[in-house]
Structure 1
Amino acid sequence: MSAEWGPDILGPDYRVRTLELRPDDEGDVVASLVRYAPPLADPVRPSRAVLYIHGWSDYFFQTGLAEYWQSRGAAFYALDLRKYGRSLRPGQTPGYVDDLATYDEEIEAALDVIAGDLGSRARVMINAHSTGGLVAALWADRHPGALSGLVLNSPYLELQGSSAVRHISAPAIAQIARFQPKAPLPNIDPGYYSRTLSSQSGGEWTYNTAWRPTPSFPVRAGWLLAVMAGHARVARGLSIPQPILMCASSRSVISPRWSEDMRHADVVLDVELLARRAVQLGPCVTIVRIRGGVHDLTLSPEPVRTRFYAEIDRWVAAYGWG
């Protein structure tokens, strides 16, 4: 299933392992599992783990998130899904799948590795961002006993403009996807979100721009149809039994013109829609709005991201690990 742990691009405290997956029409397919493994004075095998899943046109580089969970006594793992980041191979269509359930393979492979590292009784939460949050929620709904909880960071639970936009656009997208599933759709990413993050444009973060490009990877018809099918499933209501924490910014600023205000808001998704959809994930959902947060709350400026972590602390204290 997988190779052994080896060095990772994030430095000596991180290890990476390649998960061999079933080939598809583009050839060999892999996912990459990263583990945060700093040297410890008194090493013990944790009984709890967090598995992080990134969003669209992204990969794992949020080292502060890994350090946060490790400081709370949890082993931290992160997936680079197939055709993203560490897992992207020459000749592949970046980020492309035509069914979000395709990711079941790498999620379950990652959980198998975690069970091998920590024991089969270890309790696991998934912490997921944006499209990864949609993938994680759908997976948790199909596997009701597998997790101890979900922490969702601005999960992509609905298209901008509500379900009405989805219903109107779905037939046209389906027609394109039927004949040209990998056809790129018009790219509407103006680069504003990257401008809020990158250290080259006033942000704090340095990352691999081949794996997290500006503008983002082209959105393709088959992928968007799969995402819209996921949105429709959420809109009908999921039944995730475990406690869920959904955090998002307190407001969105979505505009064709740049504004410095965008450095303190979600410029990618409509956070009001996220909040409305989140209550449909299961019977025990906590919604927290983070004032001044950007789309990926872990990449928000201080003291915003510290508040995000404090909200996770409060939620874990209330609900534990199942």
Structure 2
Amino acid sequence: MSKRHQILDSFKVKRSQADFWLNCLLYGCLGLAFLPITLWVASSANEQSRILHALIVLVMAIFTLVLYTRIDITEPLTLNKSARKTLFASYGLLLLSAISPYVIPPSSVYLNVIGSLLVIPAYCCGLASTVLFVFGRDLRRITYTATGTFCAFMLLSILMAPLDWPLRTLAGKWSGAALSAIGKTVELGVVGNTATEPPQLILLVNEHPFHVASECNGFGVILTSLLLSVLLTIYRRKGTIEACLNILAGITLGFIFNTLRILIIVLLAPSMMEHYHLMHEIVGTITYWGCLILTWILLKGPTQTEA
């Protein structure tokens, strides 16, 4: 029997049971409570292409895990133990987030920030519970992997703005050091830091200026490679040390490939100024996907069906 027919047959049996509709009401209320954060995720993805690309890659990676993992649906549309635990966790974290402004003193800035961020793991617990309720407890491995990584994605997305300038500076310094090593004359500086003109980070290579813009900060490729490392760490059930090494590898690969992208663009630019934007996009696409494919291979992402 196909998985779709399993769920449909289960619905036909359970639709006459009061507890089934009570469970649906609990999930419906949870969905309404999380509507603002759902809209925020959609808005962030729409406004920031790097976040959208990271989200698309995350969905593709999860689909790949589903494709290469043997999945069985057992007792669908049932509030099994795993679904119940994550449902209670979601409501509990949501309640803590709601009451935290009233019990935490305004002077405790960090505690207030933590309290407001509790809504993100609450949201992901709600997603996990919904999947486990609909498809059954045997999807725990995939579900916890997907929602755990999605939680990391949402938390990291918040850091995009504050990390922009530090990452740009680091990308400029790394690229400048590499270019200096191959004999180029390099200067890195800030221009236009006035009340009317935002500061620009300029990398001067052999008298050719290159603006290290927000798109060059590497947040997109670093975020995505980091998310892949988190995804595979959870999926492979790594220990603490291996998990830290995997995450460090993901971040390092992101930095290296972003620096490589800047190097290639700077070296090709003088001879390809007429087609600069096309070259910029091609180099960016190749290095972006090259980083992600290498991250997947090095961290042992599945490439064939696994039990």
Question: Do they fold alike, i.e. is TM over 0.5?
Answer: no
Q: TM-score, normalised by structure 2?
A: 0.30
Larger relative helix fraction: 2
Q: Which has the larger radius of gyration?
A: 2
Q: TM-score, normalised by structure 1?
A: 0.29
Larger relative strand fraction: 1
